[in-house]
Amino acid sequence: MEDRRGDLLTTTEAAALLRSSRQHVVDLCERGVLPFVRVGTHRRLARADVLAMLRPELTRDQLKSLWLHRAVAGRLVADPDAVLDRAAKNLQRLQSVHPDGMAAMWLDRWRQVLEAGVEAVLDVLTSRSRDAAELRQNSPFAGVLPEGMRQAVLTAFAEHWRRERTA
């Protein structure tokens, strides 16, 4: 995030753009869904990150990942303990394989999200924000979807993608 005047928003300004409460913006920041920097004791958010939450443009791969993670979200609400346990075990394994670098940073962010609980995880799994899209590229949810369901989601996504491109 660049620190140019006008590029950084207060949580109140971000809430106005998102048509939400200031507390909701603070919650999104604390859950890791909306990136922020601290200026003194105050949170500041990049205008671009806030606007991206309204309707960010996703690449085909990011959109496909979003579809898969929406299916994971369905499993999460049906059986939170089992899904979070699987994710925690996967995360631990991934962190041992990737102790350094960018992957380690994203995996640490996942640890924070998982520790924040089901609502925070659901936010990341279903958000179109740039930050959530990046997090999903390092997802600890492998194996949560049965293979048949995973294939069904991928087939549905491919059909949706074709229809959208020919419409």
Per-residue pLDDT, averaged over 19-27, amounts to 93
Nearest Cα neighbor of 73 from 133, 126, 28, 31 is 126
pLDDT at 12: 96
**3 state DSSP class of 38:** strand
Q: Does one domain contain both 49 and 66?
A: no
Per-residue pLDDT, averaged over 74-99, amounts to 97
- Whether 80 is covered by a domain: the verdict is yes
DSSP tag of 43 = E
Kindly report, residue by residue over 140-160, the tens digit of the pLDDT.
999 999 999 999 999 999 999
pLDDT at 49: 85
Q: Does one domain contain both 26 and 107?
A: no
Per-residue pLDDT, averaged over 58-79, amounts to 96
Average pLDDT, the chain: 91
pLDDT at 78: 97
Cβ atoms of 83 and 75 within 8 Å: the answer is yes
Q: Is the pLDDT of residue 2 over 60?
A: no
Q: Does one domain contain both 117 and 155?
A: yes
Q: Does one domain contain both 119 and 135?
A: yes
Kindly report, residue by residue over 42-55, the tens digit of the pLDDT.
999 999 888 877 77
Q: Is the pLDDT of residue 31 over 50?
A: yes
The distance in angstroms from the start CA to the end CA of the chain is 36
Long-range contacts of 98-107 (CB under 8 A, 24+ apart): 103/138, 106/134, 106/135, 106/137, 106/138, 107/138, 107/140
Q: Does one domain contain both 25 and 84?
A: no
Q: Is the pLDDT of residue 4 over 80?
A: no
Question: pTM score, two decimals?
Answer: 0.69
Q: Where are the beta strands (DSSP E) in 11-158?
A: 37-39, 42-46
Instruction: Indicate the pairing of strand 8-9 with strand 37-39.
Output: unpaired
pLDDT at 111: 96
Per-residue pLDDT, averaged over 73-89, amounts to 98
Share of the chain above pLDDT 90, in %: 74
Cβ atoms of 71 and 153 within 8 Å: the answer is yes
Q: Does one domain contain both 38 and 71?
A: no
Q: How many domains are contained in the chain?
A: 2
pLDDT at 1: 40
pLDDT at 53: 79
